Structure 1
Amino acid sequence: MRIHDILEIIKTNFYIGLIGVIGLGVLWLIGYFFIYRKLLSGKKKPNKKQLILGCAFIGYIIMVIGVTFLNRRSHFKGSINLNFLSSYRQAWNTFSLISWQFLILNIFMLIPLGIMLPLIHKKFYDIRWTFGVALSFTLFIECLQLITGFGIFELDDIFNNTLGALIGYGITMSILTILKHKEGKILKVMGYLSPLILTITIFGCIFIYYDLQEFGNLSVAYNYKKNMKDVNIVLNRKLSEERIEYPIYQAPRYNKDSANAFVIGFLENQDIDTSNIEIDPYNNSAIYWIRGEPSYNIWMEYLDGSYRYSDFSSFDEDMEPTNIDEDSLLKELSNLGIQIPAKAVFNNQDIGRYEWIVEKEITEDFLTEGSLSCSYYNDNTIKEINNNLITYTKIKDVPIKSEKEAYEELRSGKFNLFPSGNSIKSININNIELDYHLDSKGYYQPVYSFDSVIDDKEFKIIIPALL
């Protein structure tokens, strides 16, 4: 999720909150002037400070409910995740900006609550009251999400929201302490700000540690341990206990500038005018648009250079997919700068739709793997390309776990399984082989792949192989 998208969500829900406050304000005015003042002859005037804070608080609560429910669809009814800090492990494994954004935004979401409560009433100077209200509010949101399906009941969300409220409470109480106390205020301020300081320190250490480590993290690594207490595991082959060295490779990783240069070169190679190209950047990818007659689109991944290309003239009335022989199609792709390895397996998927698949072709210090599919049309042009055919460069040989060590991790429940909520009764392991998976820094890491049957369904259980 981009900053622009986050700001749009905040902006939209700010307006919803403002409309809600105005609507409730009108009802309050009617109640105050026509019922309290005229009918009941009341004379007490409202406290302006409390009125302003009350309006801000109500508007904020409406915004939180809007962000929590109005920006989602009901897909998760009955979903519960009580695995503490599993969302942090998932963010660490993927190490994508969007994962960390969700965690940080969940903390930020209740900071205003912690800021406002002590300002609304002195009772909330006592941290127990603020903590209680914050915990009750986030529990209410999570339970409502569970009932409606507009989200998942997550223990981590409760932790993050409550932490955010304590950070907000600490900010307000620190300012009040500085303004009102003359002695011992430094220690008090440090105490109040300790949740904020500790949070910033932990997040800072996580990012520094990640930046210093040589290789990236694997999204296939486990987020939480499965309960394996009553699971029947059947292993149909012998395991090696020997640790070996295995090569690690690197993908042709791109950044914003090199990706832009590649896409513009690709389009100009087809005599497509790129002077008005639109670039829509995301965290780890970008979408490129050429709008007009016809329009063109490329979605490119920075991490490995894979891309999807579309020529939207394929939707023109007279356009239809048409067949072409493999040699002629290879020449067409070559004209676009795309070379297909000689050992690639060719498939004719449908009329005008073709695919090449390469499985771990190693040539000296290079490993090529993946697939490329394309569609050929009756105007003798390729209008769709999905290129996941990547050539990786060998970096070095690295020591890896033995098969026995990887199996022990599996036995202890350190693996991912989708859908994750299902309990496991039996695992039948038919084969074990070394495979590769792209990590978060663009390295192609070795992993152990366990071909398994889990409760009568076939799965590949992936265990990272690096020590």
Structure 2
Amino acid sequence: MRLSDIVHMAGDYVVLGIGAVVAAALILGLGYGLVYRKAMKGTRTFSKVQLLFAALFLIYLVVLAGATFLGRAGIGYGGLSGQGLFRSYLDAWQHFSTVEWRNLILNICLFIPMGILLPLVFPGMRRFFKVYLTGFLVTVFIELFQKISGRGVMEADDILNNTVGTMIGYGLVMLVLLGIASAGKKNNQQKPMKTIRNGICLQLPLIFTAAAFLLIFTIYNQKELGNLAYRQILPVNMEGVTVESKITFSDQTQNTWIYRTKTGSRQDADQMAESFFTALNTEIDETRTDPYDESVLYWSADGKYSFWVHYAGMTWEFTDFDLLETESATELSGEEAAQLLGSYSVNLPAGAALEADGTDSYRIKARPSADGSSTFGGEFRCELTKDGKVKSINNHLITYTPYRSCGIVSEQQAYEKLQQGYFNDPGEVLRITVLGVDMELAMDSKGYAQPVYRFEVRMDGSGEQEIVIPALERQTGEDAIE
């Protein structure tokens, strides 16, 4: 979910929360005035500040319910559970995706208001263990409800993050309350130092959390290369799993190349979309441009075309919605199809040849070479009409520029990593049969293409699948090309 979508959803639930406050005020106000004050002759009153904090707390609870399960109706997770403590952090480290880190931080921030408002609404809950325990129990209830109802995934990391958020919020509000209390007792000379010590202790959750994230991002920024999604820090459980091979593996290590790939920006995407639409005698409809975290979707001013650009590798997709129902052309040669694409200002890489794939499309599928020369790889697919127009294009071809040479592990060493379980969890499986192995390039989180071994396997006798094992021996080296 995009940040703008999260903000929009939160705004909707804030409005709903305000409605709940108004309804509660009417009901409780009538009960207080007619029953408590008149019938029961009660004398207790509430200050405006108390009522304000109570209203804010009710609004927060509505937003919390919306974020954790009300807004997830119909998703149907089926009562799934996560994979253990810190699993989401390991996944975020492997992909080093802005979205994953943002979600972890938002999970912490979601419960900061809980820690702030509990001591303000309920003065009897100003002891840290009461607030910490309440935050923990609330998030456990939410996770259990998600598991039972199927409206989310029960994860230990959510419980951890939410509890930490409660602790941070409590520390912040108590720092303010301690400061106010200390200012009101000027005659006690020992109070200021005690207040400072208590205030610092209450900020330890915030300090440790900020330090942990700072350390993670500092280590990542100091790394030469990015992280590979295929590089597993912890192995999957291989107990009871038989791994066998139909082929023999080389035990020779060798050198190959790491490549750079282009990672674009929003400005680069804007220029690409503007150029493409100009070739079609139209322009971008700025009111419909839809930015995502790692891509952006454009629409033409006449509403006929969409153009979706992905920053990683600057790959893109184009669709002409007026032509989707027209009959596709399959009788053109690859050269004729390439000429037709040229009229749309789409130029194919040198050496790339379009071929009909038997499914009303023409495509290029290429593996990048690993000889240290500039190369390209990926897939290009287009669908054309018989009257010489383009229905759609999926351009996932990526240009690779040599960066530096590197040492890689042997096929045998990679196979041993597979046997040990250092690959993406395949789920429940009893037998893995290796049918073949090849070397390819895989893009890391910093836009470098690293060598990997791609094992062709069959799991429990089912259809052919792939297991990818990183091949890089080290992340430092010479021969960098400037």
Pick one of 434, 437, 442 that aligns with 1:437: 442
Whole-angstrom distance in 2 between the partners of 1:253 and 1:415: 26
- Matched residues in 2 for 1:59 and 1:343: separation? 58
Residue 363 of structure 1 and its aligned partner are, at CA, apart by 7.8
State whether residues 54 and 120 of structure 1, in contact with CA within 8 Å, keep that contact through their aligned partners in structure 2. yes
Q: CA distance change for structure 1 residues 66 and 411 in 2, over 3 Å: closer, same or farther? A: same
Aligned to 1:60: 60
Contact 2:285 2:298 in 1 (8 A): no
1:278 to partner: Cα distance: 5.2
Which of residues 179, 204, 209 in structure 1 aligns to 2:214?
A: 204
Distance in 2, Cα, partners of 1:184 & 1:45: 34
List runs of 5+ in structure 1 lacking aligned partners.
none
Q: TM-score by structure 1 length?
A: 0.91
- How far has the Cα of 1:116 moved from its partner? 1.3
Aligned residues of 1:295 and 1:312 also touching (Cα < 8 A): yes
Superposition TM-score, scaled by structure 2 size:
0.88
Q: Contact 1:346/1:357 (CA < 8 Å) preserved in 2?
A: no
- Structure 1 residues 183 and 431, CA gap change in structure 2 (3 angstroms): same
Give the deviation of 1:277 after TM superposition.
7.9
Which residue identity is paired with 1:454?
Answer: M
For 2:67, give the aligned amino acid: V
The correspondence of residues 301-312 of structure 1 with structure 2, limited to 5 A, is 301-312=310-321
| Alignment CA distance shift 1:277-1:159 (3 Å) | closer
Query: SS of the residue aligned with 1:423?
Result: coil
Tell me if the contact between 2:257 and 2:372 (Cα under 8 Å) persists in the aligned partners: no
Determine the structure 2 residue equivalent to 1:464: 470
Q: Is the 8 A contact 1:376 1:383 kept in 2?
A: yes
8 A Cα contact 1:324 1:376, kept in partner: no
What letter corresponds to residue 52 of structure 2 in structure 1? I
1:380 aligns with 2:381: no
Residue aligning to 1:129: 130
Q: What is the alpha-carbon distance in structure 1 between the residues aligned to residue 314 and residue 459 of structure 2?
A: 34
Task: Give the deviation of 1:315 after TM superposition.
Answer: 4.9
Give the secondary structure class of the aligned counterpart of 2:472.
Answer: coil
1:354 counterpart residue number: 362
What pairs with 1:122-201 in structure 2 (closer than 5 Å)?
122-181=123-182, 182-201=192-211
Q: Which runs of 5+ in 2 are unaligned?
A: 183-191, 474-482
Write the mapping of 1:299-378 to structure 2, written as runs, cut at 5 A: 299-315=308-324, 319-326=326-333, 327-335=335-343, 336-339=345-348, 341-342=350-351, 344=353, 346-351=355-360, 353-360=361-368, 365-378=373-386
Aligned identity (percent) is 30
Shift of 1:133: 0.5
Give the counterpart letter for 2:213 in structure 1.
Answer: F
Instruction: Name whichever of 447-456 and 32-41 sits farther off.
Output: 32-41
Per the TM alignment, residue 397 of structure 1 is displaced from its structure 2 partner at its CA by: 1.1
Question: Contact 1:347–1:356 at 8 Å: present in 2 too?
Answer: no
Q: Does 1:34 align with 2:39?
A: no
Change (3 A) 1:346 1:14: same
Task: Give the stretch that moved more between structures: 32-41 or 155-164.
Answer: 32-41
User: 2:399 aligned to 374, 391, 414, which one?
Assistant: 391
**How far off is 1:19 after superposition?**
1.4
Q: Which amino acid aligns with 2:253?
A: R
Counterpart of 2:305?
A: 296
Whether contact under 8 Å (2:258, 2:448) holds in the other structure is yes
Partner Cα distance (1:233, 1:39) in 2:
78
Determine if contact 2:374/2:402 at 8 Å carries over to the other structure.
Answer: yes
C-alpha separation in 1, matches of 2:71 and 2:79: 19
Quickly say closer, same or farther: Cα 1:240–1:366, change in 2 above 3 A.
Answer: same
Query: After superposition, what is the alpha-carbon deviation per residue over 1:18-72, rounded to whole angstroms, capped at 9, x for unaligned?
Result: 1122222222123222332333343333354433322221221111001112332
Match of 1:234 among 229, 234, 244: 244
Q: Does 2:224 match 1:219?
A: no
Aligned counterparts of 2:208 and 2:89: Cα–Cα separation in 1: 16
Work out the CA distance in 1 between the residues paired with 2:337 and 2:320.
Answer: 17
C-alpha distance after superposition, 1:391-437 (max 9, x if no partner): 2111111122333433333333322135xxx3332222232322221
- Given candidates 393, 411, 415, the residue that maps to 1:407 is 415
**Secondary structure in structure 2 of the residue aligned to 1:299:** strand
Hey, what's the Cα distance between the residues in 2 that align with 1:223 and 1:137? 31
User: 1:172-215 deviations in whole A, cap 9, x for unaligned?
Assistant: 12222223242233332221111111111211222222222111
Hey, what's the Cα distance between the residues in 1 that align with 2:286 and 2:51? Answer: 52
Match of 2:43 in 1: 43
1:428 match: 433
- 1:98 matched residue in structure 2: 99
Tell me the distance in 1 between the aligned counterparts of 2:251 and 2:457.
Answer: 20
Alpha-carbon distance in structure 2 between the residues aligned to 1:363 and 1:389: 18
Aligned Cα root-mean-square deviation (Å): 2.4
Higher deviation after alignment, 403-412 or 145-154: 403-412
SS class of match (1:259): helix
The farther-off stretch of 2-11 and 151-160 is 2-11
